[in-house]
Structure formats: structure tokens, C-alpha cells
Structure 1
């Protein structure tokens, strides 16, 4: 009888406490939101990260809709310098949620000019301008044709530019900081890599990859204080990429599962969608299967392999195994199927590799 009464009393306390928490949920949520805003508005949003390279997936998807993944975007934080590679739809919002504010972006590097890699560029340029009070436009590096892309977005946003200035005033949104400045590059006749950034601590190199007919298409390598990351861009298996990736701490590589995409092709054929059947067949020729990327990473001596630009969508985690196929048997290092918010940290002065996700707190 005594135990029964004690159990009943404990149950009553739990119910009362649970009820009190339920009633106070708005107050608790408001306090949490205030802390999030304080972090987002902090003078140094990166003060919780050690010096080094930090690579985040602000978008790990493809043109196909995926509830776990927005358009392609990779953020590279080198010390306190934030760079963005590609700007797919939805990626600017992810940057903010990941405490990698668009206002802090130093430059954008585009891998190629396919729509899914540039359709968030206008939003990113606008948020960087208005949110950062910038007095000069955002540098946008990319292959030949990037000037047309940048000018096109600036023209599309020109009316909104006027609204922002009229509403907030020139002291807040400075007219000279609007938009971007295109920095187009082309490879020399011998196809040599291009050194785009060179400082005592940081080097950024562009190199050609295989994504015909979307040419030129490029990948990028960042080296900072002894740590390195290579970002493949969209590519079929590439010998040049393998060469550039030699000894890299991290390879961020696109990936397409031929077996899973074949399911899409069969479904399209069965339902008379000849155009979609043709598209899902065609994309096999200029993307890389996970196993092939694993072979590249293994031969290059890469320490960590992170997949991005995931094709097809993987709406549930259980599909990651079929997507990877035999990749884990081929590459002996850690492999991760990327999701939005994933961050791989490479602290300077060490060989450590640390994983986290800066969006999980919102899920």
C-alpha cells in the first residue's frame, strides 16, 4: 500500500510539473529565441569555432525536390573569412540558420552556370548588402558568362533596390554596395589550374572538371594553415579532380546513384513521361556514382569524404545505405551522406576532423 501511494504521489508531481511546463511553453520558447537572436547578432558569429577550416553544407540537394536538402551551396570558413561556393535556392536562409550570416560573406565562387547553382544568387547578394551595410558589391567568381548572370540578377532586383533605399535610407543600405561584381575567369590553353586567392594563410585554386555540355565547369581547393578541402562541383569522374585532391583533409563530392535514378526512369516510362525518362537517363553521363567518388577519394589519400548534390532525393535516412552502395568497402576513411546544416571542422595545427550539424536544433 505504501509503495502504491508513493507511486501515485510521484505520478501526480510529474503531471503537475508537465502541466506547468506546458503552460509556460511560450515563455520558454521566447527565452530560447532571444538567445538565438543574441548569437545571430553577435559581433563575431564565429567565436565558438577554433581557428581552421570549417566546411558547411548550406545546401546539399539538386534540382529534384528533397525535404531534407535545398539547392547546392557549400560554405567555407577560413579563419574568420567566409566564402560560399554556389548559391542554390534556399541556401541563403540556411546560412543564417547555421550562424554563417550572409552579411559576412567575403566572396562567392560559382562552379558552373546551371540554374540550380545560381538561382539563390540574387537573394544572397541582397541579404549581404542590406544585412551587412556594405559599401561595395559582393565579388562573384566564376567561369566565363558569370558577368551576364550577375548583371541579370542585379537588373531583376533593381526596383527592389530602390524600395530598400527609400525605406531605410542611404546610411543603412548604401547604394554603392548593391549587387555583385563579376570576376570571370577562363583557363589557359594548357588547362593549368588557376590561383584565385593567395595570401600567407589562404590559397584558393580553381580547376576544370567534366560536366559537358555545361562548360567550363570547375571545382575548388582551399588550403588554410595546413588544412585543405576540395569541392568537386558537378562532374563525371575526373582525373584532374583526383590529382588536385591528393592528400586533402576533406573532399566534398557530388554523387548520383544510378540504381535509384533508374527507378525514376522506369516510373517515368511506365506513366508515359518520355521527357522525364530522357532527362533521368541523360544525367547519368555527367555526374558521379558514390562508388566512383569513393575510388577517387581512396586513390587520392583523402581523409574524409562528404557527399553533396544528392541525386535522387533521399527523404528518409534508410535510403542512405542503398545510395552509398559499396562505397564504404572502397574508401577506408569516414563517409557521410550530406544533409543541410552539416559542418566538418578542420582545426589548424592538428589533424583532427570534427562533425556537427547547425540545423539540427531546429528539427
Structure 2
């Protein structure tokens, strides 16, 4: 009986192997059906939802791409920075539902995919108006540059697919500049229950640089952007549910600086030295979060990469002793759900 079972198993295996192309194509069809189904956001409970589509920096990190944070407030979809946007689709969402992009500043790792996300949003949902891009004064130059760079491609899309698929009126980006004025937060977007405020942060010589707070039906999220430890972040983050704060371990970056010197990489040694003076160490962010009464601290824009066991603890230092709430060291795909009318924070990873 055992021999018969073994023979049957071998026969089935051989049949499957012989027909692997046909089977793979059928499975592929089902995968495509699933991917092309309406965005998973329709299954989300009413509330605030935050997805890290990019939790890294310009430094290579296999677990973390360039900065990108997706925020869903009820039916509204917003993107904060557009360094690497490819994970949006992989996380189960569609660029076609984006209402606007908000830029914290204009470093390349925060704007690199701006043209691509505009293109994907336009043609995937037949939009008839450009993608709004909010940012401090200077955003007009960024938007104009990407519109010019993508002008030929936009023409090709409409010429190939037609106005019904790629309406000329919906191509590209439209700038929504605002004046970053002082440390106090100020409202730049309001629609129904959704309010988005901006505030200045310290990232000199990058000027202006801002952070954002999003409020929806009693739930709140604050995104620091790139900054040193700044009073404006602390005051704007007062009692916020989720603080998404950048984190650069000065201790680990100092090791990287010394390593670069040891192998004669003078340029990289200088870069590692320079970046220590305009970012926030995790312990500093923990102090800020504790004083502000933050409920959950999430680190993003992680510097440096953390490839080895024990490095997360080294990255945090004494952060978990300073801040008495939960801490998450973000990576691509991390997803946080804050249901309206609740104090719950549900954490998942969608990659």
C-alpha cells in the first residue's frame, strides 16, 4: 500500500511538472484578477490608516526604500513624500485613488518618484485634473520640472490610449504652495472630517522644511519629515496617536564614518560626518515623544541600515527607557490602522 501511495505521489508530481507552464499561466491569471480588483482600502474600517511605502533614506537598505508614507483618512488618500512609490501597489492600494501629495522638503530621496506617481495615478483612473502637490514655497519649481520631464511621455500616452483612457486635462501635477510660517502648526487642507496642518522643522541648510499633522474623527498622525530635534514637532505632536519620526543613530553613523576613513573613502566619511548634524537620534525623538504625550512612536527614514541581529537595539539605544509607549522601527510595508471612535492601533505588514 505504501509503495502504491509513493507511486501515485510520483505520478501526480510528474504530471504537475509536465504541465507547469499551463498551470502557471492559470495561476498568473488569478493573481492578475486579484491585483486588478478594486483597492483594498474599501475593506478598511472608517478611521486613519498609515502605510510606510518607503521607510528608508538615500543609503542602500534592502528592507527600506526612499521616503514615502501613504495616509488614508476615511475615503481620502494622501501621499507624504514620493521617494519610492512602487510599494503602494504591492501593499494592495492603487495610485488612482490619490487625492494629493504633500512634500516635506525637496531632497531627491523625497521627490524622486513624483513624476511616476502622477503618471500612474492619471492613467490608472482616467483622471481629468492634475495631481495636486502641496509643499512649502519652492514646490512650483519642483512641479514644473517634473511636468516638463514627463511632457513627451504624457503626449505618447494620450496618443496611444486615447482621451478616454488618458485625458489630456488630467496629466501631470499642479503645485499648491504655502508659506511655512513659524513653529506653530497651521491648516493647509480641510475637507469634512479631515484636517491637515503643516509646521516648520529644522533641516538646515534645507529651507524651508516642514512636517505635517493629520486629524480625522478624533484620531491623529504626525509626520516629522527630516529634522533635528525640534520644538515645533513636540508642540504639534501633543497627544497624537501616532508619531512617524525620522531616526538617525549617531552612534552607528559614527561607526560608518570611521569605517569609511579606515578604507580610504574620504568622500563617504565626510558625508557620514555631515549628516549627523541635521537629523534626530532615536533617543532624542523618544524624549520628544514622551514630553508630547504621544501614544505610539514609529521610526522612519532609518539611518543607517540595520542588517545584523542586535542592531535594532543598538539603533534605539535607551529610547525604550525614555519613552514609555510602544516603539516601532519601521520598514517597508508596515501598516497602522486607527479606527474612528476608538483608541486602538492595529499593526500589520502588507508586503
TM-score (norm 2): 0.93
CA distance in 1, matches of 2:265, 2:142: 31
Unaligned stretches of 5+ in structure 2?
A: none
CA distance in 2, matches of 1:317, 1:73: 26
Tell whether 2:112 aligns with 1:79.
Answer: no
Shift in alpha-carbon separation, 1:35–1:252, aligned structure 2, 3 A: farther
Partner of 1:181: 174
- Give the count of matched residue pairs: 351
CA distance in 2, matches of 1:271, 1:201: 55
Partner of 1:40: 35
CA contact (8 A) 2:201 2:232 kept: yes
CA distance in 1, matches of 2:28, 2:308: 29
Following TM superposition, by how much is the alpha carbon of 1:24 offset from its aligned partner in structure 2, in angstroms? 6.6
User: Which of 90, 93, 102 is the aligned partner of 2:86?
Assistant: 93
CA distance in 2, matches of 1:236, 1:202: 28
Unaligned stretches of 5+ in structure 1?
A: none
Shift in alpha-carbon separation, 1:274–1:103, aligned structure 2, 3 A: same
Aligned positions of 1:104-253 closer than 5 A: 104-188=97-181, 191-253=183-245
Post-superposition Cα deviations, 1:80-107, rounded to whole Å, max 9, x if no partner, equal: 211000000xx22111111221111100
Partner of 1:58: 53
CA distance in 2, matches of 1:181, 1:263: 43
TM-score (norm 1): 0.90
Partner of 1:334: 326
CA distance in 1, matches of 2:221, 2:291: 16
Moved more, 271-280 or 135-144: 271-280
User: Which of 285, 295, 304 is the aligned partner of 2:287?
Assistant: 295
CA distance in 1, matches of 2:309, 2:233: 29
Post-superposition Cα deviations, 1:87-135, rounded to whole Å, max 9, x if no partner, equal: 00xx221111112211111000000011110111111111111112111
CA contact (8 A) 2:129 2:169 kept: yes
Secondary structure in 2 matching 1:47: helix
CA RMSD of aligned residues (A): 2.1
CA contact (8 A) 1:40 1:101 kept: no
